[in-house]
């Protein structure tokens, strides 16, 4: 397959922008809010200035599709507690290091002497465990359906290779239940979804069908190039115009209706659904994954007897409202003042895919 055929040209961008303006002109005279669920979409939209191409009545909202942003404070506190435990090496992806817990962050704990290591893959953490058989190596398993299968495969490999000192601290989140939670919120102002491309490569476009059926919400699975996003928006507007909501896929070069069956089989061999807390949003039924009993020997919660920490409502940070599309980043009173990428008070400013970080870096008025 020639993947380059999906990227398009400047003339494609201009053509799709013209389509958006034409379709918007035929819609009722009100604002239509389209939510890009994925943080990668948010960053691409900001980086390429796509909002400037849209008519005033079409507004893009950022959604809860940034895995670091929705990792709750209690989970960070548990990771810090493990990092401070004698004989433990805590491993994590780098973008989790600055995410604040209720009192501190992993980056500060490492500066105080805890053995916290940044890795690029769970396999790197497994390798560290094999190099240090006398210590327990805990991998902070954060992410959506995109990363969960690879981490599950690493757990299976650790079991097969007898690496009993390799553990994971899971905080996986599932996207479709989160979409339901958004639409159940009375403050929701979403008229259509740009569904995440990466997640959809795993779960498939069919996974959104129940949400679309139950809520009559137009939905397009979109890629991440500017032309992908600009092509997906008129697809959404046509559904809104005709009042025929359904799941369509713009990202055909990667996403299949059934998804990646092998990845799903691996994921659910190790995990099972559980109610989960989303930072700033709260508990969402069956929106997370926990390790099955058959793999409990590699579950840090089971091995260390850790219980889930309570949900905390953040103070001045309004990251939760940003993630739900209720406000934009600049409507938060501490954006760009008390809360900046150097001094982040909320996860939306920490993550490279966070909506506040994207607005600060690419929007007008942020520091260089």
**pLDDT tens-place string over residues 293-319:** 999 999 999 999 988 665 556 678 888
Topology of the domain comprising 73-174+259-304 = Rossmann fold (3.40.50)
The 10s digit of each residue's pLDDT in 29-67 is 999 999 999 999 999 999 999 999 999 999 999 999 888
Average pLDDT, the chain: 92
Stated pTM of the model: 0.91
3-66+180-249 against 73-174+259-304: fold identical = yes
Give per-residue burial for 28-42: e unless 16+ CB within 10 Å, then b.
Answer: eeeebbbbbbbbbbb
* pLDDT tier for residue 27 given thresholds of 50, 70 and 90: very high
* pLDDT tier for residue 6 given thresholds of 50, 70 and 90: low
Coil vs helix vs strand at 354: coil
Answer whether residue 367 shows pLDDT above 80.
no
Please give the pLDDT value at position 5: 52
* pLDDT tier for residue 7 given thresholds of 50, 70 and 90: low
Q: How far apart are CA 191 and CA 218, in angstroms?
A: 7
Superfamily grouping for domain 3-66+180-249: HypD, alpha/beta domain 1 (3.40.50.11750)
* pLDDT tier for residue 209 given thresholds of 50, 70 and 90: very high
The 10s digit of each residue's pLDDT in 98-129 is 888 888 999 999 999 999 999 999 999 999 99
Q: How far apart are CA 131 and CA 354, in angstroms?
A: 34
Of 75 and 345, the structure prediction assigns the larger pLDDT to: 75
Please give the pLDDT value at position 343: 84
The domain segmentation of the chain, as residue ranges, is: 3-66+180-249, 73-174+259-304, 319-362
């Amino acid at each position: 397959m020639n993947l380059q055929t999906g990227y398009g040209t400047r003339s494609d961008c201009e053509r799709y922008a013209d389509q958006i303006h034409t379709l918007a002109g035929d819609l009722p005279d009100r604002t239509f809010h389209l939510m890009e669920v994925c943080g990668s979409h948010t960053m691409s939209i900001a980086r390429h200035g796509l909002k400037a191409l849209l008519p005033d009545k079409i507004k893009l909202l950022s959604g809860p599709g940034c895995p670091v942003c929705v990792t709750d404070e209690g989970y960070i506190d548990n990771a810090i507690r493990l990092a401070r435990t004698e004989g433990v090496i805590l491993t994590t992806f780098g973008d989790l290091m600055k995410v604040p817990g209720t009192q501190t962050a992993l980056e500060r704990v490492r500066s105080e002497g805890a053995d916290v290591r940044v890795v690029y893959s769970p396999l790197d953490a497994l390798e560290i465990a094999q190099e240090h058989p006398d210590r327990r190596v805990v991998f902070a398993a954060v992410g959506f359906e995109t990363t969960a299968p690879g981490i599950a495969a690493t757990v299976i490999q650790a079991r097969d290779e007898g690496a009993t000192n390799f553990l994971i601290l899971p905080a996986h989140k599932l996207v479709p239940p989160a979409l339901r939670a958004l639409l159940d919120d009375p403050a929701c102002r979403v008229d259509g979804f740009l569904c995440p491309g990466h997640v959809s490569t795993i779960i498939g476009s069919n996974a959104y069908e129940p949400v679309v059926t139950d809520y009559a919400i137009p939905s397009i699975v979109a890629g991440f190039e500017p032309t992908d996003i600009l092509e997906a928006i008129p697809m959404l507007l046509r559904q809104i115009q005709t009042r025929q909501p359904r799941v369509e896929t713009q990202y055909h070069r990667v996403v299949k209706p059934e998804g990646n069956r092998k990845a799903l089989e691996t994921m659910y061999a190790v995990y099972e659904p559980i109610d989960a807390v989303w930072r700033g949003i709260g508990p969402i039924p069956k929106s997370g994954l926990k390790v099955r009993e058959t793999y409990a020997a590699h579950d840090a919660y089971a091995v260390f007897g850790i219980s889930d920490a309570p949900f905390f409502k953040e103070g001045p940070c309004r990251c939760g409202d940003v993630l739900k599309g209720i406000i934009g980043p600049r409507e938060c009173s501490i954006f760009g003042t008390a809360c900046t990428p150097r001094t982040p008070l909320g996860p939306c400013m920490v993550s490279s895919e966070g909506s506040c970080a994207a607005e600060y870096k690419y929007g007008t008025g942020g520091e260089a």
